[in-house]
A and B are shown apart, each in its own frame.
Chain A
Amino acid sequence: MRKVCYILLTLAVCWFAAYVAHAQTADLKIPDQLFAGQGFTIPTSGSGDATFYLIGPGGVSKRTIHLGDEIKVASEETRTAGRYIAVLRSGGEKNSKAFFVAPDKPAALNFLARPSRVPVAQQNAISGVAFVFDDYKNLVTAPAPVNFSLSLEQSAPTTRTVPAKDGIAWTQMNSGRSQGAAQFVASLPSTDVSVRRVVQQVAADACDLHMKAQNTGKAILVETDPIRDCSGNAVPDGTIVTFTEIDNRGRSTMDARVKRDVARAELPLSENATISAATGVVLGNEVHIGNGATGGGR
């Protein structure tokens, strides 16, 4: 009987010791909601030294702590949003707890604007994608509004507010009717965060291509009227205009570059020819040249 009591007592002592040892490292109490760059403390109980590990997506730390004291986790240790594991190791005992750090409030934007050069008056030709980040370069997945603004000097800007979803806000905009460097800006409302990109709006395809021809005696001189797009913008210098001359000898073509809004070329002399002009997908008028005649087109 005495032996049985002795065994039971020993078991009870062992159980109590195990319980106390476990209690020393159990229950890592970590706040339910944490944001990037937010420090916090973890209370501990017991006595003696232990090793504390903090394993996060962007770093790990390891230090000796004194059980019974609070573990201080500095704001620098939680800058990266994501899943962390806190481990407290004391002797043979270890206890760990996983927790999440959410991104902080929006504080930065990455902005992709495409294309860098676009013809005027095109539907949904300009796209902007904004990625919302916090101060610590974490993608802010909580909803956040993003303003987009497309403006050209001396014209009213086109603005749009788009709620970012999962850290991304995007929009598509029409290009304006005037050529020039348009300012495409993405910004976070109620902050001074804005990112600017330049989209060069250029003249679209020519509209109403018109030319005239003149027999100079040595050649036929062809010249277009000032070439403009349908919004009235002059097409850029260097745009190719192709003149084609058809007569009883066959076909002659000549490419001429637009210079100061007009393209001109000299075609072989012919007594009876039909001349046409084209640029890109746009066809111009046709001109008929007879004996010594000057064509005005039809």
Chain B
Amino acid sequence: MLQQSLAPAFFGAFHKINLKNTIILPCARTLWIVAASFAPFVLPVLADNTPPGVQLSTSHAVPRQVEDTTQKAIVRDYTAAWSALTDALVNNDAGALDSAFIGIAHDQFAARVREQLKTGLHTQMIDRAHNLEAVFYSPEGSAMELHDTAQVEIQVMDGGTVIHSEQTTLHYVVLMTVAEDRWKVRVLQSEK
């Protein structure tokens, strides 16, 4: 009996409450604030998965003109090389280099990975953009030299401590040669 008399009063009062102003908006605001507070942590992680923009210009390549298919292959394989390099340096896994590096470049980066392992360091590199310019394409089509202006973020960690962090523009001289079924990086040398 009591329940029967109270119920309409309760629900009547409930209907009088402005749902939008009292519940939905505050909840939405709270959620938005929570989400926004996580954004600095979440967004870079999402951004890390974004492939870097690689622009290739071949108009100055000599003595041979770079074929369309070769241009595509160079962009694909150079992007893959940077992905392999960043994987190798952050995970201290020299095996990651095998698919994209060969010769001198492979040996140098593998040596760095070995020494990182020995000293407990690792390096997180995020390559944001590459502006590639082919400057030499060998007459028989087996070697290409490129200049890369790269936008990179570098963070060097000693265990869990960041010892160096920077965002910078780096210039690289790149030598790629045909190996197996793809182009591999033989020289990746930064210069002033």
CB < 8 Å neighbour of B139 from A56, A127, A166: A127
CB < 8 Å neighbour of A61 from B119, B143, B175: B119
Taking a contact as CB atoms under 8 Å apart, the answer to whether A60 and B190 are in contact is no
Q: Chain A: which residue is nearest B171 at the CB level?
A: A83
Instruction: Indicate the member of A58, A103, A112 with the most B CB atoms within 10 Å.
Output: A58
Stretch of B21-29, B45-53, B156-164 contacting A (4+ beta carbons < 8 Å): B156-164
Given that A100-B191, A166-B145, A170-B139 are contacting pairs, would A80 and B119 also be in contact in the complex, using a CB cutoff of 8 Å? no
Stretch of B5-13, B32-40, B76-84, B110-118 contacting A (4+ beta carbons < 8 Å): B110-118
Q: How far is the CA of A114 from the CA of B64 in the complex (A)?
A: 14
Q: Which residues of A contact B138 (CB under 8 A)?
A: 112, 127, 129, 170
A55 interfacial by beta-carbon distance below 8 Å: yes
B42 interfacial by beta-carbon distance below 8 Å: no
Q: What's the tally of chain A residues with a CB closer than 8 Å to chain B?
A: 39
As a 0/1 sequence over residues 78 to 98 of chain A, the CB contacts with chain B under 8 angstroms (1 = contact) are: 001111010101000010101
Q: How far is the CA of A269 from the CA of B116 in the complex (A)?
A: 83
B173 interfacial by beta-carbon distance below 8 Å: yes
B137 to chain A, nearest CB (A): 10
Q: How far is the CA of A55 from the CA of B10 in the complex (A)?
A: 71
Taking a contact as CB atoms under 8 Å apart, the answer to whether A87 and B164 are in contact is yes
Q: How far is the CA of A256 from the CA of B121 in the complex (A)?
A: 70
A53 interfacial by beta-carbon distance below 8 Å: yes
Q: How far is the CA of A112 from the CA of B144 in the complex (A)?
A: 12
Q: Which residues of A contact B170 (CB under 8 A)?
A: 83
A131 interfacial by beta-carbon distance below 8 Å: yes
A46 interfacial by beta-carbon distance below 8 Å: no
As a 0/1 sequence over residues 165 to 192 of chain B, the CB contacts with chain A under 8 angstroms (1 = contact) are: 0101010010100000000000111111
Taking a contact as CB atoms under 8 Å apart, the answer to whether B158 and A62 are in contact is yes
Stretch of A13-21, A134-142, A201-209, A224-232 contacting B (4+ beta carbons < 8 Å): A134-142
Taking a contact as CB atoms under 8 Å apart, the answer to whether B121 and A168 are in contact is no
Instruction: Indicate the member of A115, A127, A166, A172 with the most B CB atoms within 10 Å.
Output: A166
Instruction: Indicate the member of B145, B158, B164 with the most A CB atoms within 10 Å.
Output: B164
Q: How far is the CA of A194 from the CA of B150 in the complex (A)?
A: 35
B2 to chain A, nearest CB (A): 66
Q: Which residues of B contact A81 (CB under 8 A)?
A: 189, 191
B140 interfacial by beta-carbon distance below 8 Å: yes
Can you list 24 A-B contacts (CB < 8 A)?
Answer: A53-B158, A53-B164, A55-B156, A55-B164, A57-B112, A60-B116, A61-B115, A62-B120, A83-B170, A87-B163, A89-B163, A100-B190, A100-B192, A103-B189, A112-B140, A112-B142, A127-B140, A139-B173, A139-B175, A139-B187, A139-B189, A167-B175, A168-B136, A172-B139
